[in-house]
Homo-oligomer: A and B are copies of this chain.
């Protein structure tokens, strides 16, 4: 099964586990809406790519960590889109959860997805212990790694919370808001293969930064139909945007450097070349998305 189908399948199994005649139908529908259709699913793809570097010896565990990471990401999108944050009308080309289902169900959908993520992670972690992939004393690392990617001091919740502070340390904000969950995804992929995982954090960080930079370019000059969400939000909301700071050519140079750094950060492992190919292909896609936007803007301004 290819990675994309595998990811959709594990997410669907997780979401369908909530379905019961006793479930409140609105919340059930909102939870499905928050996860399907998906975006690039880049975080769970990173989990799978890192596990594959070791031959993916325990695919049920890899499935569980990939689902957990993507469910957390979906939860963060639902809560970040709320009226008290971005008040985003669109997400992934459809109405945001609070626009489609109301604000109360959007708050609860995010909460439910966080709970579901940790339940999925628990199934993976105990499967890892029961099948001998991981010692029980070490398996608590699965939770420490995901919690560090999500919560304080430097996970995505902390990143979002910096937007409520008067003075924001920019590097801390960026690393927390995007990088932390990518870092967790890479480390969890390695843990699911029975590795210590720590050496993979740098790859996750670099991929996360590259993704954020590309997203900043699209936010600055993208069209809503490309993105499935409104463009120009960072400027409107007074948030830092690399493309606004460095200009477009500076930003594409930064993106190239980040992808190069990502390739160099891949630790020694049985199939390092496969991971590097995966990262290179991802980098090419990010670069070409940015370049085509920049070319579009140049053509429009010289017309």
The reply to whether A157 and B119 contact each other, CB–CB distance below 8 Å, is no
Segment at the interface with B among A21-29, A89-97, A223-231, A288-296: A21-29
The reply to whether B84 and A164 contact each other, CB–CB distance below 8 Å, is no
When A18-B151, A165-B26 are in contact, do A137 and B143 touch as well, CB less than 8 Å?
no
Q: How many chain copies? A: 2
Asked whether A255 is an interface residue with its Cβ less than 8 Å from the other chain, the reply is: no
Give the distance in Å from the alpha carbon of A129 to the alpha carbon of B128 in the complex. 13
Asked whether A152 is an interface residue with its Cβ less than 8 Å from the other chain, the reply is: yes
The reply to whether B164 and A27 contact each other, CB–CB distance below 8 Å, is yes
The reply to whether A102 and B24 contact each other, CB–CB distance below 8 Å, is no
Can you list 14 A-B pairs, Cβ within 8 angstroms, ordered by A? Answer: A22-B158, A26-B164, A84-B104, A84-B107, A85-B104, A107-B107, A108-B160, A116-B147, A118-B147, A119-B143, A119-B144, A122-B125, A126-B136, A136-B136
Residue positions of A touching B, CB distance < 8 A? 18-28, 31, 75, 79, 82, 84-85, 101-105, 107-108, 110-112, 114-116, 118-119, 122-123, 125-126, 129-130, 136-137, 139-140, 142-144, 147, 150-155, 157-158, 160-165, 172
